[in-house]
Amino acid sequence: MYIKRTVEKAILAAGQSFPCVVVYGPRQVGKSTTIDHLFGDKYKKVTLDDGEDRALAVNNPKLFLESYGWPVVIDEIQKAPKLLDEIKKIIDEQRLVWMKNGEERQLMYILTGSNRFELQESISDSLAGRCGVIDMSSFTFAEKNSYNAPLFDPEISEIKKRENDGRKYIGKKEIFEEIFKGGIPDICTGISERDIYFKSYVNTYIERDVMKLIEASSEFQFRNFISVVALRTAQELHYDQIANTVGIDVRTCKRWISILQTSGIIYLLQPYMSNVSNRIIKSPKLYFMDTGLCAYLCKWPNAEMLESCAMNGAFFETYVVSEIIKNFYAYNKDPKESLFYYRDIDQKEIDLVYVNAGDIYPIEVKKGIAPTKPTKNFDVLSKYKLNIKPGLIIDNCDHIRPINEKAYTFPIYLL
């Protein structure tokens, strides 16, 4: 059974604006399934996982593209990057034909890739101005439950609309079951058993994607590294601490973090800074994009132990932040333009800061219900001379309600 994805509209919109669409995302988040659902009855499809097709694409990209023509979907495009220069030539030639004949342009190529680290520079060089780029992530809670998922906006008038879309409240136990399971489609749909799947997933990711980018002798260290990083989800990123724990130098640690970030495994949330203060912590915070994978790497055996462990707050926060970021990606929005965190050397912290034009919204994430003094640090934002709007306290409550003039409670199940 196909589960509708919020990102479908963004993909179709990109296809109306560009002759080529590139869909990025980590392995097994549903890229091929979604593209096949949208275009499968109209477009030919070729996957470069096929050895013969890959060999032709690598050795004779021009003949490969002549053989398949267009419109065509090319899966795992990173395995034959030389195709991109040929695609550029064909698009430019066809643009002249459309212009000469007064015809509307069409969507010629849909490219999917699971290794953005290898591809992004080639895409920028070869297809700049010719392609729309879409980031795709694993399922959100809303998608898994077939709920409407509007673009996240902390304005209270927008937030209140979510209470009327038929969602059912779920308690803390159910939330941690969601966190433990994660959003990988094969696990969520019951096709694969969770632990067996994640073991294979990690092996495939390291063997097919990572080993091309690191020394062969470093495989064991990288496996240890990714688990050490998982244990630091929802924490400030300190390269020296991770490097010392794993036994690598800081330069290698930075490169490996970049691999995880570019391939969509982690997200680095930047601090909100301004010239008005030099007392702001400048390190980003690190979040895993799929909490199920993170819990597997941390070796938590079940949702009950995850809920009661010392990391439960970090996993709850990771779940909230990743849900919001995945929502941004689904609407083809860059979260780096709006979403930050705040922490200064006086230990005053705000989990999330949403900035929109001249407005700023403080957001706290609390795993319990009715936390004490949740808005105590909101006033630190006044130094930025922006309009501080009523913020949100995202927790496990059952309804949106005002706490004081500074914030409203916001149930996590409405994300």
Decide yes or no: CATH 2.40.240.10 for domain 8-135: no
Q: What percent of the chain has pLDDT over 90?
A: 75
User: Comparing C-alpha atoms, which of 138, 133, 113 is closest to residue 5?
Assistant: 138
- Whether the pLDDT of residue 276 is over 60: the answer is no
Q: What is the pLDDT of residue 177?
A: 97
Of the given ranges (103-117, 142-156, 158-172, 364-378), which has the lowest mean pLDDT?
A: 364-378
Are 166 and 147 within 8 A, CB to CB?
yes
Is the Cα dihedral 133, 139, 143, 149 positive or negative?
negative
Average pLDDT for the chain:
92
What's the pLDDT tens digit per position in 37-58? 999 889 999 999 899 999 999 9
160 versus 118: which is more confidently predicted?
A: 160
User: pLDDT band at residue 370, thresholds of 50, 70 and 90?
Assistant: low
Q: What is the pLDDT of residue 381?
A: 86
Q: What is the pLDDT of residue 278?
A: 60
For 202, other C-beta atoms within 10 Å of its C-beta total 17
Region 94-102: what's the mean pLDDT? 94
Are 114 and 212 within 8 A, CB to CB?
no
State both tokens at 162.
Answer: 């979510």
Is the peptide bond prior to 71 cis by the omega test (within 30 degrees of 0)?
yes
Residue type, 148: N
Q: Check: pTM over 0.85? Answer yes or no.
A: yes
Mention every residue, 6+ apart, whose C-beta is less than 8 A from residue 310.
none
Residue ranges, CATH 3.40.50.300, the chain: 8-135
User: Comparing C-alpha atoms, which of 225, 367, 243 is closest to residue 297?
Assistant: 225
Q: What is the pLDDT of residue 259?
A: 92
Question: Packing angle between helix 219-230 and helix 250-262, nearest 10 degrees?
Answer: 70
What's the pLDDT tens digit per position in 71-87? 999 999 988 989 999 99
User: pLDDT band at residue 214, thresholds of 50, 70 and 90?
Assistant: confident
HSE, CB side, 13 Å, CA atoms: give it for residue 5: 31
Region 266-290: what's the mean pLDDT? 85
For the chain, the farthest-separated pair of C-alpha atoms sits apart, in whole angstroms, at 68
